[in-house]
Amino acid sequence: MDGGFTDIEARLARLRGGQLPETYDARKIAALAGNPGCRRRSVLDAAAVEKRRVASYIGFPAPFGQSPFAMARESAFQAQVKDNGAMELLALLREVLGLDLAEAHYDDLGDVAGNVNQGLRYAHTRQVLTAVPQRRGTMFDHPLLRFRVAGRHAYLQPDLVAFRHDATFHVVMVRSFPVIDGQADSSGVAAAAIQSAVFVLALRDLLAGAGLDGDAMVHHETVLVTPRDFANQPVASLLDVRKQLATVRRQVARMDRVEDIIAPLPGDLTFDLDADDKGVPRRRPGDLADAVGCVPASYSPECLGACEMCFFCREEASEHGDTGVLGKAVREDLGGIESVARALRLARGQGPGPVPPDLAEAATIVRRAARLRGEAMAGDGAVPGHGAVPGAGTVINEGTGAS
Amino acid sequence: MTTLTALARALAVESGYAQPVRTVRHVHLSDRPLVFIPLQLAGEANAPLAALVGDDREKPRLLAVYEPRNRNQRFEFAAELAESVILPYIEGYAAGEPGEKDAYADAPQVLVPGPAAVTFTRLLGRSTRFRRTDGEWAVPASVPVLGWWLTYLAERAEHPSSSLLLPMTKALSAHWATGQSEAEDQNLASLVRWIAPPPGMTGFEAAREAEDPQAWPPAGPATDPDFDRDVLVGLIAMIRDASGVGGAALERARGALAAALATQLEQTWALMWQGVDLLRSLPEGGHVAGRWGDDRFSFTTNMRYFREGGFPQARRDGAVRAAARLSRLEREQRELEVGSAYDDPLVMAEYRMTGEAFRGTVTEAQRDRRVQEPGKKGAGALRPLIVVEAAEDVLVAPDAKVTCPAHPKQKGVVRDVRPQPGGATVRVEIELSGGMGRGSGPAPAGTMPAVGEAVVYTTLTGEFMPLPKFPDPELTPWTHGGPPPPYVPRDEDGNEAWQ
Amino acid sequence: MDETVEELEERITALRAGVRRAVLDGDGPLAGALRRDLRHAERAWDAALDSASTDSASTDSASTAWPGTDAGDAAAPVRPGVMHVPSARDPAGPGAEPGLGDGRGRGALLPLREQVHEALSLLQVPAAPRLIATVHEAFFALAFPTARLTSLRRDEERSFRSAPFARPYYICAALSADYLAPSRGLLAISTWPAERRIIGSLSPRVDFLVSAINVARAIEQVPEPVPAARALLSRFAANVRGSSGAGGRSFGPAGRIDPQVVIRAAQAELEVHAEEDQRTRAGAARRARDQLDDAQQLFGAGIRRPRSGEDDEDEDEDGRPGRKAAGGR
């Protein structure tokens, strides 16, 4: 750790202000991989700002919530597969990992003699997982791992880690979405895959820290355990997460280079809520919104399911009239033109000034589209029913001449 | 997404209102559709929670499951859904016995809010069609019947040209472009309000307002997590407690749950019928009736199979069936595209945009041109030639086969494409055949485009390659798993736990 | 209540038949009407049963109260968790039959600790509340909510500390082999040898196999096992290699599991683990006897703070080659 790094740490702490750093879990780290190009998100995440709180305070609460039924179901299914010495899980692991009959050890690392202190649990996990192989065990429940993100360590707890006679570890995920006739919800599988990749990296770090060959020992195939069909009977599948490993690695490396993003920002910039001693924020919301606005975002509709700042950024992008608000495909179909107003001006052939050469092709496309739309809408005369809809049937002024 | 749709979205942003991207309606809309809005319990595999359902917009029927994690209550829900709504509705279209080649005059049409409700329908069908009506896990006789029909409807929903089970968001967003993204169009409330905002508001404002799940509950099947946490948890616990007491307390608790669920469904009900009105406001496209005819025929065939005691649909298709099905779906997709383009100048404009169609004015027409085919005697075949001058890019190449939607039976072959001096127009020569009668003279007036007429020619044609021949399932090569055993329901299917 | 439970049951049977006929005849409206009647009758049946069980509960509850358990249980005779009878329509026991005969009355008279003792005595190994409740339901015809077991161990410890060995047995903890701390969520019986109450790395599996054997043996002794018992055995069988039929993991109600097969398979696997497990347990039990007082031996050593930060060595391995002793550093 060098001095430069400490400067960055101090700068990030200033950005965060008086708030406690947000703790990362695998879900949040996995979400970082969502929009790696967004500077706003990189800075807020690197500074461990609690985005959810900031978003609500500036008037754009994030629409993320999880139903208590979903949470209860998830923990009930977890408990079920781990009941009775993890009998169901062991039967599945024997099947998918080819465990020997003798490999039936089960160690609960959820506490150390009743103590749940994270540092202690992490040390215990490290000790147990790095023991000599013949004394190592098979199933490790509630292990606690560490993962370095943006210069800070986050503690992560995989559902379970399995160790096999060939000296390989497999990360095990237990999820309650069903696999019906061999088909599972693809977004659920994708989320499980990227989260398990985070665990794989954290586990590799742990082993490497003990002088072991973590990359070789932690398998890139993770085990996903889900209910089968409509019953509670569990079924295990192997997930190859090599691609996800690369994605997470790349994104995390990027966050470690956050100084490049911070450098041009005003030195006194902070996202502090300026809470009083009762925790009530005193900062003017508009002021905080301005501070957030200092860091450029790259909003796209994909942010809606992935980032707590999404509604704020969408509003900002809408006010700018960004074509990206409509989706990447729309922007591409409009020849890459970034502004709605400009796309429409080009489509209508309204100046001011000549079409810049680098937009000539895009202009040709949108003008042609505008002309064709105008012809089609007008060609068949009145379209019945549209009268009821205000604004419907807006026809673009025809562009002059074809191409 | 096409440039024309993208442009319409940009216009929607500018105006604040959704913009039409179709001039006619390309889906069939029944006079008496059945609207079905299911809700499911979060976290469970297809656990029905409630449904608002019916074919009379004034009289929706609310079905509720008072303990969604109880399998018996799930089957009671399925039985009630079957007996009180779905099966009578379907049976209503299947009176009598049409001849072998005939179809029923009409077919059922089920409208659901969106694709997620189609998935729900498929899974509800999957979880009920194998149920046994005898033995230890017996369910009411109507349950597997419901499963049979829901499975059928969900399968049809994968056919691009079918309207038997129609997701409303898909139908609406196919006809209007909003000033938001496709992802946001999945929200039925915000989509409908972009298209038809209440007076005094722009579509943009109305849609944003509809993003608050408290004021505008999600259209399901997923419920608002806050509703689950703040309302549902307490009510379900109350019912469980009252179950021990029974009587009035239980009735009260159930009443409270039903009322709470109704609040999550009523606005979606209104939005669904508003969507029906919006779709009805568009005139029906010319090819819609034909596609609906395919739906009617499919319904008739399946009703016949069902009444003959047909087995429930297999869990998975064998290799041959799956390949044949995929090929059929691709062909339907192509037919739908062509039909839509012929019916709708806005769709045709998309093909003009990509150069697969062009529009121009007929400047010459040789109505009596004949061509002597090699080795044949006589006056030669009637092959009129027209010249079309197009004021747009023409990407169609010589020898391309083209058709004019106004003369769909007449074939054209492009003979020459030549940009005119000055570059403003393109001169296209097209040789025509067919659709001009059998007379010996020139093509009669009206049977082919005339000089001065504005015409569209397109390489999209209604002619298709015949479906590839697939081997009989019995001849499935071993590389594709070998011949599948014919599907016969097994005990295991019916005994599958549903907890 | 206008009709008796028996009258209601007759009516329900008749209505079910009527609904089926109406559906087969394609008479939708009639089927719908009959189903409505059926549902009313079923609700009435539920209510009748519930009021019947409430009646008996209020007479029993005085004797079920146990000093030291939550006073709320005794004070709320209307909602007795102990008396909860799983009906066929209850999520807790799908398939449980409404009428179970004599066992219920006997079980209901026992205080909770006695019921736990019954179940643990059958299993003969430390078990989690959920398994204890399942076993009790399966063999003693009575289910109880597992939530009530969480306070039991604390109550027992209090009782032991105020008057050691005053009772013939206590419901106590199982101890982890490494730290001799109470193992999370497991209950045991104080009169068992210390080795049996120690949980090493292999013990969860070993104890599961022993449970499977004992459940299978118990089933053999019951002439007509209730569905809950058969379900428990088939669930266990599905997770013992070589103990269930084709497919290995199907536990539909149709397939009856042969208890002897389960016993043989579990014993075979047990032989693989027995020696290593015994060694761990014996060593830890020796340490427990040497280092812990009586109460600690039953309820576990208190939480010990580590000396310092992360790089703590295990402090209680005293040179023995315990599995966790040898660090990889």
CA of C315: which chain A residue's CA is closest? A113
Nearest-CA distance from B453 to chain A in Å?
Answer: 13
pLDDT of B39 over the 90 cut? yes
Residue B36: predicted pLDDT:
98
Count CB neighbours of C16 within 10 A: 17
Q: What interface predicted TM-score (ipTM) does this complex get?
A: 0.85
CA of B119: which chain A residue's CA is closest? A185
pLDDT band at residue B204 using 50, 70 and 90 as cut-offs: very high
B445 in contact with chain A, both atoms CB, cutoff 8 A: no
Residues of B in contact with C48 (CB under 8 A): 246
CB contact under 8 A, A106 and C249: no
**Dihedral-angle region of residue B450 (phi above 0 means left; psi in -120 to 50 means alpha; beta otherwise):** beta
Residue B477: predicted pLDDT:
53
| Beta-strand relationship, A168-174 and A221-227 | parallel
Q: Hey, what are A148's tokens?
A: 């370095």
Residue B245: predicted pLDDT:
77
pLDDT band at residue B471 using 50, 70 and 90 as cut-offs: low
CA of B496: which chain C residue's CA is closest? C252
The whole-number average pLDDT for the span B259-271 is 95
Q: What angle do CA B280, B284, B287 make, to 5 degrees?
A: 150
pLDDT-above-70 percentage for chain B: 92
The pair phi, psi for residue A95, each rounded to 5°, is -70, -55
* CB-nearest partner of A231 from B17, B345, B498: B498
Report the alpha-carbon distance of residue A195 to residue A217 in Å, rounded.
19
Residues 28-87 on B with a CB inside 8 Å of A are 41-46
The CA radius of gyration of chain A, in Å to the nearest whole number, is 27
Q: Between B171 and B133, whose confidence is greater?
A: B171
Residues of A in contact with C303 (CB under 8 A): 113-115
CB contact under 8 A, B1 and A327: yes
CB contact under 8 A, B496 and A231: yes
C195, C282 Cβ separation under 8 angstroms: yes
Q: How far is CA C204 from its chain centroid?
A: 15
Q: Which of A121, A94, A118 is nearest to A105 (CA)?
A: A94
The tokens 């989509």 sit on which residue?
B191
Q: Between B111 and A359, whose confidence is greater?
A: B111
Q: Hey, what are A90's tokens?
A: 């062991």
pLDDT of A4 over the 70 cut? no
* CB-nearest partner of B79 from C35, C50, C95: C35
- Reported as a single tens digit per residue, the pLDDT across A55-90 is 999 999 887 888 999 999 999 999 999 999 899 999
Residue A387: DSSP 8-state: G
Report the alpha-carbon distance of residue A44 to residue A271 in Å, rounded.
8
CB contact under 8 A, A233 and C208: no
Nearest-CA distance from A215 to chain C in Å?
Answer: 17
| Beta-strand relationship, A179-180 and B110-112 | unpaired
- CA torsion, ordered B255, B257, B260, B265, to nearest 10 deg: -100
**What's the per-residue H, E or C state across B219-287?**
CCCCCCHHHHHHHHHHHHHHHHHHHCCCHHHHHHHHHHHHHHHHHHHHHHHHHHHHHHHHHHCCCECCC
Helices (H), A23-67: 26-32, 39-46, 51-57
- Reported as a single tens digit per residue, the pLDDT across A142-157 is 999 998 887 678 889 9
Give the torsion sign (CA, B134, B136, B141, B144): negative
Q: Which of A399-403, B367-371, C193-197 has the weakest average pLDDT?
A: A399-403
pLDDT of B470 over the 80 cut? no
Q: Which of A359-363, A366-370, A389-393, B180-184 has the weakest average pLDDT?
A: A389-393
CB contact under 8 A, A112 and C179: yes
> Of how many residues is chain C composed?
329
Q: Between B45 and A352, whose confidence is greater?
A: B45
Count CB neighbours of B46 within 10 A: 24
Which amino acid does the sequence have at B438? R
The pair phi, psi for residue A377, each rounded to 5°, is -75, -35
pLDDT band at residue A401 using 50, 70 and 90 as cut-offs: very low
| Beta-strand relationship, A183-184 and B401-404 | unpaired
* CB-nearest partner of A83 from C130, C184, C321: C130
The pair phi, psi for residue A156, each rounded to 5°, is -130, 145
C253 in contact with chain B, both atoms CB, cutoff 8 A: yes
Report the alpha-carbon distance of residue C154 to residue C173 in Å, rounded.
10
Best interface-test mutation with A: which of B46, B181, B194, B316 has the largest number of A CBs within 10 A? Answer: B181
Residue B487: DSSP 8-state: P
CB contact under 8 A, B352 and A372: yes
- Reported as a single tens digit per residue, the pLDDT across C55-95 is 433 333 322 222 233 333 332 222 222 222 233 333 333 33
Q: Which of A182-186, B372-376, B417-421 has the weakest average pLDDT?
A: B372-376
C39 in contact with chain B, both atoms CB, cutoff 8 A: yes
Nearest-CA distance from A6 to chain C in Å?
Answer: 23
C50 in contact with chain B, both atoms CB, cutoff 8 A: yes
A229 in contact with chain C, both atoms CB, cutoff 8 A: no
CB contact under 8 A, B497 and A233: yes
Residues of C in contact with A212 (CB under 8 A): 328
Residue-wise pLDDT tens for chain C (329 aa)?
A: 457 777 777 787 777 767 656 655 656 678 778 877 877 777 777 666 656 544 433 333 322 222 233 333 332 222 222 222 233 333 333 333 333 333 333 444 568 888 899 999 999 999 999 999 999 988 887 777 777 777 888 889 888 988 888 888 999 999 999 889 998 889 999 999 999 999 999 999 999 999 999 999 999 888 888 888 888 998 899 898 877 543 444 344 445 788 999 999 999 999 999 999 999 999 999 999 999 988 899 998 865 444 333 333 333 333 333 333 333 33
CB contact under 8 A, C201 and A120: no
Residues of B in contact with A233 (CB under 8 A): 497
Residue A391: predicted pLDDT:
38
Report the alpha-carbon distance of residue B367 to residue B444 in Å, rounded.
8
The whole-number average pLDDT for the span B288-317 is 87
- DSSP-derived secondary structure for C144-200: --GGGGTTHHHHHHHHHHHSTT-SS--EEEEEETTT-PEEEEEEEETTS-GGGGEE-
The whole-number average pLDDT for the span B217-241 is 91
Residues of B in contact with C147 (CB under 8 A): none
A167, A182 Cβ separation under 8 angstroms: no
C303 in contact with chain B, both atoms CB, cutoff 8 A: no
Residue B244: predicted pLDDT:
77
Nearest-CA distance from A32 to chain B in Å?
Answer: 20
Please, what's the largest Cα pairwise distance for chain B? 98
Residue C311: predicted pLDDT:
37
Residues of A in contact with C186 (CB under 8 A): none
Report the alpha-carbon distance of residue B444 to residue B334 in Å, rounded.
32
CB contact under 8 A, C39 and B76: yes
* CB-nearest partner of A101 from C251, C269, C304: C269
pLDDT-above-90 percentage for chain A: 48
Report the alpha-carbon distance of residue B205 to residue A62 in Å, rounded.
19
Residue A217: predicted pLDDT:
93
Question: Which chains share 3+ C-beta pairs under 8 angstroms with A?
Answer: B, C
Q: Hey, what are B152's tokens?
A: 């059928």
Count CB neighbours of B110 within 10 A: 27
Best interface-test mutation with C: which of B53, B55, B63, B83 has the largest number of C CBs within 10 A? Answer: B83
Residues of C in contact with A84 (CB under 8 A): 128, 131, 204, 208, 211, 236, 239
Nearest-CA distance from A385 to chain B in Å?
Answer: 4
Instruction: Please give the model's pTM, rounded to 2 decimal places.
Output: 0.81
Arithmetic mean of pLDDT over chain B: 87
- DSSP-derived secondary structure for A230-294: TSS-EEEEEEE-HHHHHHHHHHHHHHHTHHHHHTTS-TT------B-TTS-B-S-HHHHHHHHHT
Q: Which of A41, A43, A52 is nearest to A14 (CA)?
A: A43
Residues of B in contact with A344 (CB under 8 A): 10-11, 14
Q: Which of A373, A228, A295, A320 is nearest to A47 (CA)?
A: A295
* CB-nearest partner of A113 from C205, C304, C329: C304
Report the alpha-carbon distance of residue A89 to residue B197 in Å, rounded.
53
Residues 308-347 on B with a CB inside 8 Å of A are 315-316, 345-346
C65's CB contacts (< 8 A; 6+ apart) are C73, C74, C111
Q: Which residues pair with B318 in a beta bridge?
A: none
Residue A379: predicted pLDDT:
59
Does a cis peptide bond (omega within 30 degrees of 0) precede residue C145? no
Best interface-test mutation with B: which of C20, C23, C27 has the largest number of B CBs within 10 A? Answer: C23
pLDDT of A169 over the 50 cut? yes
The tokens 């000549």 sit on which residue?
A354
Report the alpha-carbon distance of residue C42 to residue B96 in Å, rounded.
37
Size of interface A-C (CB pairs under 8 A): 112
- Reported as a single tens digit per residue, the pLDDT across B77-128 is 999 999 999 999 999 999 877 777 788 999 999 999 999 999 999 999 998 9
In three-state secondary structure terms, B91 is helix
Residue B201: predicted pLDDT:
95
In B93-232, DSSP assigns E strands to 110-112, 165-167, 176-177
Distances (CA, A) of B219 to B270, B272, B386, C166, C252: 11, 9, 54, 63, 36
B34, B88 Cβ separation under 8 angstroms: no
Report the alpha-carbon distance of residue C280 to residue C287 in Å, rounded.
11
Q: Hey, what are A106's tokens?
A: 């089960």
Q: In terms of C-beta distances under 8 Å and separation of at least 24 residues, what long-range contacts does C303-307 make, across chains too?
A: C303/A113, C303/A114, C303/A115, C303/C181, C304/A113, C304/A115, C304/C179, C305/A115, C306/A112, C306/A115, C306/A120
Nearest-CA distance from A54 to chain B in Å?
Answer: 19
The whole-number average pLDDT for the span A228-254 is 89
- DSSP-derived secondary structure for C63-75: HH--TTS-HHHHH
CA of B247: which chain C residue's CA is closest? C47
Best interface-test mutation with C: which of A83, A206, A207 has the largest number of C CBs within 10 A? Answer: A83
The whole-number average pLDDT for the span A11-17 is 86
C204, C212 Cβ separation under 8 angstroms: no
CB contact under 8 A, B73 and C89: yes
CB contact under 8 A, A119 and C238: no
- Reported as a single tens digit per residue, the pLDDT across A29-59 is 887 776 667 889 888 888 888 898 899 999 9
Q: Which of B86, B109, B112 is nearest to B172 (CA)?
A: B112
A323, A343 Cβ separation under 8 angstroms: yes
Residues of C in contact with B67 (CB under 8 A): 91
C207 in contact with chain A, both atoms CB, cutoff 8 A: yes
CB contact under 8 A, B281 and A384: yes
Q: What angle do CA C78, C81, C82 make, to 5 degrees?
A: 105
Does a cis peptide bond (omega within 30 degrees of 0) precede residue A352? yes
Report the alpha-carbon distance of residue B352 to residue A369 in Å, rounded.
9
